[in-house]
């Protein structure tokens, strides 16, 4: 803390944009000093303080906050009055620290204490420091014509502070940076800091000179070419060959090529095409072809888009706001974005979203684009049967054009859009026009797409920055090599509860906005929404639900316009049949009682899970087996395997199958059914028929069966359990190997079902009929089933 006895008083002269240091003789300028200020300065009785301003203010309206706290004291050695003010020649004596400022209308007064400089450089060190600074100045001056005069001036300086004060006026330093030199009380630290600034200035000058030299060389080449082309144009006009339409446009192509920032090899190819265009005579046959090609070249984005950091929190917020549920899918997408951020490498950014229609695959791609702050483009591949749609046509064909990939890139105007390849499973493979799926192999291969070659462009184009997202309803029709290049993310069907939340949170507000309605005009209550989901839609997604809600919105709009209702209009459950028609979805329900030979199975469909009934009966005959219900080959094989397995496990001479015909039927005969997962249901139906034991109608089952009696895992477990829960089933048998898949099943479904894993057919019989194969003979003898059912 300063000693109050050392506090002195003086008048303050505001200065800005200058470096003032002790021991320096320099000049300061006062724009319009009043008479009182001049008397203070000329009297010599009052200490004079030069105090830097934080910004380049005028001297009117200053406040204490406008000044820095450290300044210098000085003596006036000369006063020169001019038309523009007063020039003061001063000698700076000491650095001072301001304790208090008092601003009056005519002058600024200050109380201050002295801040002496630390003596940390001896005489030899000062001379070495001064010599090194002068050497840097000579190096800089040598690069400019006439710079020798500045070197001579600097060579005359004998003091480091004086040199810093002089040179700082030629350097791009801010007020704060200049003030830093004044704040330092160490001459050594001040000299080193200034040396650092001087070296940076030297490097900046050298870099600018190199850039200017290269630009000048390039500009000279460009101007030379322009001059020669102008001379060629004049010669052609003299020969009456330059007055064709489009000559000006041809000259514009050169400017566009220079501005397109193409790679060197692409630019050379473009200039060659331009030479061909200019060599065409009047009415040249290839003029339009070459112009169309040059238009594509100059409109394609060639400059690499600047990589932006990925904000994972923002991406998660966007995905959650625009999509309900799909937690695993969204988490997988977030993980993928995190890997992109860590690697800072776009290779491998090719995702395949697979799921039923209406589950939000395409809109997920749009959300990813928004999360990455990139352009979004969508390319529909459904029904494409021509390879040229992907790769383009060669320019030798009439009406040739680039493929859809490059057209989309041109439309996006950037090298790193998010491109959604919609319905990739619906490409028409084979045919006379090539295979479009095979053409996609190069597009979706991270190791190859950095040099993708379109037939029309016939030059390599880098697609490695594009974030490809493909969508499909099934991977079954996607060729293996193409599927191998993408990372599959499965999107399963929505549960009824998920559909309810999606409808309430997203679909109803969207439908109201699309139809010009508000939430105060149309009210759809929760029970009505659930009724619509259950009885008026049959789908895995929510597209049909949105259509039904749109129907309600149209009805309401008509009522409002015709003044047929009082607002708000609330939809009632008993009005749905009138508004939407009869219910369209009729799901099978668990029966009250199943006779022997009837078992409830589980099936997967593209729109969710369903229960199906396996019915078996027998009649006198010759051992023939009849299968009906539009069964596929695999399901027919499962029926034969079940019958063979049952025959092999029954005791000898228990049942004579040679004199009985068996008929196995699966209802809904108009619907195709196939797959191995009905194996244990078929086996249980035959065992129930043979033993005469009924199977509990509340039990459903799914699982593949083998001849050795093992139960193998199946697919679509989540959808099947959803269907079972909706149908009123309370207990389900599943393969033991599918237990790990239960983690994908919603908790609300698992709480309403008892899931029993089975490993062999013995487990199945024990859980369904309450018996085991070794005890079947005992059952026959006890109940006389063999004589009653299949008596020989």
Give me the residues paired with residue 226 across strands. Answer: none
- The side-by-side arrangement of strands in the sheet containing 699-701 is 625-628, 660-665, 608-620, 598-605, 699-701, 731-735, 754-758
- C-alpha pair distances (Å), 270 with each of 160, 261, 411, 522: 58, 12, 20, 60
CA dist 24 → 78, 89, 159, 390, 764 (Å)? 14, 11, 8, 75, 104
600 is in an annotated binding site: no
Cβ atoms of 103 and 66 within 8 Å: the answer is no
Which tokens hold the place of 82? 């001019």
Half-sphere exposure of 497 (CA within 13 A, CB side): 9
Judge whether 361 is annotated as a binding position: yes
692 assigned to a ligand binding site: no
Looking at residue 503, what DSSP letter applies? I
| E strand or H helix at 699 | strand 699-701
User: Could you give the CA distance from residue 687 to residue 734 in angstroms, rounded to a whole number?
Assistant: 18
Closest among 680, 686, 678, 636 to 660, alpha carbons compared: 686
Is 131 within any annotated ligand binding site? Answer: no
Residue 653 is given by DSSP the state: T
Distance between start and end Cα atoms, the chain: 120
Where helices occur in 302-459 by DSSP H, the ranges are 312-322, 327-343, 361-372, 388-391, 404-412, 436-443
Q: Consult the annotation and say whether 477 binds a ligand.
A: no
609 is in an annotated binding site: no
The catalytic residues are 677, 720
State yes or no: 360 annotated in a binding site: yes
Q: At what angle do helices 187-238 and 247-259 cross, to 10 degrees?
A: 160
Which residues in 473-624 belong to E strands, given as ranges?
A: 487-490, 522-524, 569-571, 598-605, 608-620
- At 702, list the tokens: 């799914």
**Residues in contact with 168: Cβ distance below 8 Å, sequence separation at least 6, in sequence order:** 18, 19, 178, 181, 194
Q: Which of 341, 291, 292, 295 is nearest to 315 (CA)?
A: 341
- Annotated binding residue 309: no
- Burial class from Cβ neighbours inside 10 Å (0-12, 13-18, 19+) for residue 235 reads exposed
Residue list, annotated binding site for ATP: 355-362
Residue list, annotated binding site: 355-362
């Amino acid at each position: 803390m300063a000693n109050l006895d050392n506090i002195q008083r003086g008048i303050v002269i505001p200065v800005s944009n200058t470096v003032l240091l002790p021991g320096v003789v320099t000049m300061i300028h006062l724009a319009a000093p009043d008479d009182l200020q001049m008397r203070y300065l000329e009297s010599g009785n009052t200490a004079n303080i030069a105090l830097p301003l934080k910004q380049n203010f005028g001297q009117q309206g200053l406040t204490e906050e406008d000044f820095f706290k450290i300044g210098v004291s000085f003596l006036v050695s000369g006063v020169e009055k001019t038309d523009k003010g007063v020039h003061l020649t001063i000698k700076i004596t000491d650095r001072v620290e301001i304790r208090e400022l008092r601003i009056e209308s005519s002058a600024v007064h200050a109380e201050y204490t002295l801040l002496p400089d630390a003596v940390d450089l001896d005489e030899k060190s000062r001379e070495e420091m001064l010599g090194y600074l002068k050497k840097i100045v000579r190096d800089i001056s040598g690069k400019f014509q006439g710079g020798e005069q500045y070197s001579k001036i600097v060579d005359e300086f004998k003091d480091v502070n004086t040199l810093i004060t002089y040179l700082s006026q030629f350097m791009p330093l801010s007020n704060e940076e200049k003030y830093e030199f004044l704040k330092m009380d160490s001459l050594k630290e001040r000299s080193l800091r200034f040396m650092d600034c001087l070296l940076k200035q030297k490097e900046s000058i050298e870099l600018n000179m190199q850039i200017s030299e290269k630009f000048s060389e390039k500009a000279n080449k460009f101007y030379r070419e322009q001059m020669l082309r102008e001379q060629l144009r004049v010669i052609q006009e003299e020969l009456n060959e330059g007055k064709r339409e489009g000559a000006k446009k041809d000259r514009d192509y050169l400017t566009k090529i220079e501005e397109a920032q193409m790679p060197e090899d692409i630019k050379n190819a473009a200039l060659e095409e331009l030479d061909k265009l200019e060599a065409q005579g009047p009415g040249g046959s290839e003029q339009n072809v070459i112009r169309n090609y040059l238009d594509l070249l100059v409109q394609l984005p060639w400059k690499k888009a600047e990589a932006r950091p990925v904000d994972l929190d923002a991406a998660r917020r966007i995905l959650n706001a625009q999509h309900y549920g799909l937690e695993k899918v969204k988490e997988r997408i977030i993980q993928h974005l995190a890997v992109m951020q860590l690697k800072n490498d776009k290779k491998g950014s090719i995702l395949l979203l697979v799921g039923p229609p209406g589950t939000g695959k395409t809109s997920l791609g749009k959300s990813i684009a928004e999360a990455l702050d990139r352009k979004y483009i969508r390319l529909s591949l459904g029904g494409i049967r021509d390879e040229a749609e992907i790769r383009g046509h060669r320019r030798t064909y009439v009406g040739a054009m680039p493929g859809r990939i490059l057209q989309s890139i041109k439309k996006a105007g950037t090298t790193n859009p998010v491109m959604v390849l919609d319905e990739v499973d619906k490409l028409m493979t084979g045919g006379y026009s090539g295979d479009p799926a095979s053409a996609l192999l190069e597009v979706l291969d991270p190791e190859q797409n950095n040099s993708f070659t379109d037939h029309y462009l016939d030059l390599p184009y880098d697609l490695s920055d594009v974030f490809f997202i493909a969508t499909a309803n099934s991977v079954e029709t996607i060729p293996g090599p193409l599927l191998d290049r993408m990372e599959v993310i499965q999107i399963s069907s929505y549960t009824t509860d998920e559909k309810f939340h999606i409808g309430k949170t997203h679909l109803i507000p969207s439908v109201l906005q699309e139809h010009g309605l508000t939430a105060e005009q149309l009210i759809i209550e929760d029970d009505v929404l659930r009724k619509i989901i259950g009885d008026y839609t049959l789908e895995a997604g929510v597209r049909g639900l949105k259509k039904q809600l749109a129907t309600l919105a149209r009805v309401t709009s008509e009522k409002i316009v015709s003044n047929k209702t009082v607002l708000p209009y609330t939809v009632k459950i008993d009005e749905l049949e009138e508004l939407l028609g009869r219910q369209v979805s009729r799901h099978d329900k668990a029966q009250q009682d199943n006779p022997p030979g009837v078992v409830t199975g589980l099936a997967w469909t593209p729109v969710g899970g369903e229960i199906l009934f396996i019915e078996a009966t027998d009649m006198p005959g010759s051992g023939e087996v009849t299968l009906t219900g539009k069964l596929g080959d695999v399901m027919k094989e499962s029926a034969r395997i079940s019958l063979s397995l049952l025959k092999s496990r029954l005791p000898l001479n228990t049942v004579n199958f040679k004199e009985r015909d068996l008929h196995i039927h699966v209802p809904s005969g108009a619907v195709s059914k196939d797959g191995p997962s009905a194996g244990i249901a078929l086996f249980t139906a035959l065992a129930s028929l043979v033993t005469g034991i009924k199977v509990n109608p509340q039990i459903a089952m799914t699982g593949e069966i083998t001849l050795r009696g093992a139960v193998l895992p199946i697919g679509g477990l989540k959808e099947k359990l959803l269907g079972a829960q909706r149908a009123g089933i309370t207990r389900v048998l599943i393969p033991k190997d599918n237990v790990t898949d239960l983690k994908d099943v919603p908790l609300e479904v698992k709480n309403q079902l008892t899931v029993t894993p089975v490993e062999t057919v013995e487990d199945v019989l024990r859980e369904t009929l309450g018996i085991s194969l070794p005890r079947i003979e005992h059952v026959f003898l006890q109940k006389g089933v063999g004589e009653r059912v299949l008596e020989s």
